[in-house]
Amino acid sequence: MAKLDSNPRGLHHFYAVAFSEGPPADGVYFNPRKVAAAPTHKVEYYDFGKQLAGDLWISCMYRDTSQVIAKKIDPKPVRCRVTYDPATDCDR
């Protein structure tokens, strides 16, 4: 069995989200339509609109583990903006 937790202290800091059509295991992920980076933050813009035929799911990912928290979003949004706090160091 593969080791899921590579942090010896068991700390897993949040680093990113991903959006998928259907459960994440289906592997149908959306790419942001735009990414804006500034010295103080990073912003991703998503447009789901008419291209979303099924359910929309959000997955929260954490460092040094393969564990992910995923949840179906209901009602489905048309667009979304994700702003990352620089403390998450999402480009590391």
For residue 83, the model assigns a pLDDT of 92
For residue 2, the model assigns a pLDDT of 46
Contacts of 9 (CB under 8 A, 6+ apart): none
Residues in the chain with pLDDT < 50? Answer: 1-2, 91-92
- Would you kindly state where each structural domain of the chain is located, as residue ranges? 14-87
